[in-house]
């Protein structure tokens, strides 16, 4: 059985990947939730046969870690951000899977790993993977269906300013200055949104770049986000996500 390590900061995404890997006969040694946890694990344990790595972690982009650490084991990247595909293959990458991860695509990626004679990807295979990444189309949610009493309301995604959690209930806030409860977790809805438009700034908020009015430096190297909405929401970018958030803003 293949021994693997998952690097993923979203608990729900990690659990889903573990279940998929169990079906693929891949054993997961551990889940590292950050670059720091990965560094600590590798300092005390041998590398696994295979890594499954998200790119955006709470304490920065994984490429920064890989650039400064000699990781030899092959990597399958699992992320919602397709903009990093080409950069991913400059590392020891076997494949690049977009969230939500498809079981058959995961199987194919593992088959690629199993078919390699050594840990180096040959030029022909690398070219094929890059071409696949460049041509791969990702569809994102265009509308959100919510239930209001006995009525069903459909909201265009462009009319959504942000999603948030309050008192263990998740809501969507629209440009019409209305909040509606939703049945989705923030992680699951975020996985279906265009990552060029929406960003999860902390555990409780997913915001749209289209509705950011201002950004203010906040305490402890954080950022306060002012949205173009009539509300009293205080949206703070978590300190560990500030660097990645600035990268996302470009």
The number of beta carbons lying within 10 Å of the beta carbon of residue 1 is: 8
Hunting for tokens 């000699």 — which residue is that? 70
- The reported pLDDT for the residue numbered 67 is 81
Q: What's the distance, Cα to Cα, between the start and end of the chain in Å? A: 41
Residue 49 token pair = 């046969």
Residue 147 token pair = 């239930």
Residues of the chain with pLDDT under 50: 117-119, 121-123, 126, 130, 134
Separation between Cα atoms, residue 215 and residue 209, nearest integer Å? 11
Which CATH architecture is the domain 2-135 placed in?
3-Layer(aba) Sandwich (3.40)
Domain range annotation of the chain: 2-135, 143-249
- The total number of residues written for the chain in this structure: 250
In CATH terms, are 2-135 and 143-249 the same topology? no
Whether the model pTM is above 0.85: no
What pLDDT digit, counting tens, does each position of 72-93 carry? 888 999 887 666 665 666 566 7
Residue 213 token pair = 């009015």
Fold of 143-249: OB fold (Dihydrolipoamide Acetyltransferase, E2P) (2.40.50)
Q: Largest Cα–Cα distance in the chain?
A: 59
- The reported pLDDT for the residue numbered 123 is 45
- The reported pLDDT for the residue numbered 3 is 95
- The reported pLDDT for the residue numbered 206 is 94
The number of beta carbons lying within 10 Å of the beta carbon of residue 165 is: 15
What pLDDT digit, counting tens, does each position of 52-70 carry? 999 888 888 888 888 888 8
């Amino acid at each position: 059985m293949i021994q693997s390590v998952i690097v993923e900061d979203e608990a729900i995404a990690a659990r889903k990947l573990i279940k998929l890997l169990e079906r693929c006969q891949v054993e997961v040694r551990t889940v590292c939730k950050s670059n720091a946890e990965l560094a600590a694990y590798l300092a005390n344990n041998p590398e696994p046969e295979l890594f499954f790595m998200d790119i955006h972690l709470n304490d920065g982009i994984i490429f920064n870690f890989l650039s400064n650490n000699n990781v030899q084991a092959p990597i399958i990247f699992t992320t919602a951000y397709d903009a990093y595909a080409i950069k991913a293959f400059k590392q020891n990458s076997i494949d690049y899977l977009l969230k939500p991860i498809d079981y058959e695509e995961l199987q194919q990626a593992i088959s690629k790993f199993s078919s390699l004679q050594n840990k180096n990807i040959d030029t022909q295979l690398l070219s094929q993977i890059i071409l696949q990444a460049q041509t791969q189309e990702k569809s994102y949610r265009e509308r959100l269906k919510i239930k209001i009493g006995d009525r069903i309301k459909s909201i265009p995604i462009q009319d959504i300013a942000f999603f948030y959690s309050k008192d263990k209930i998740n809501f969507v806030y629209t440009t019409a200055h209305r909040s509606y409860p939703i049945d989705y977790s923030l992680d699951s809805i975020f996985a279906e949104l265009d990552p060029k438009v929406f960003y999860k700034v902390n555990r409780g908020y997913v915001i749209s770049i289209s509705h950011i009015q201002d950004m203010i430096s906040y305490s402890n190297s954080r950022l306060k986000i002012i949205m173009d909405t009539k509300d009293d929401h205080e949206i703070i970018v978590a300190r560990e996500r500030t660097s990645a958030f600035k990268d996302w803003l470009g």
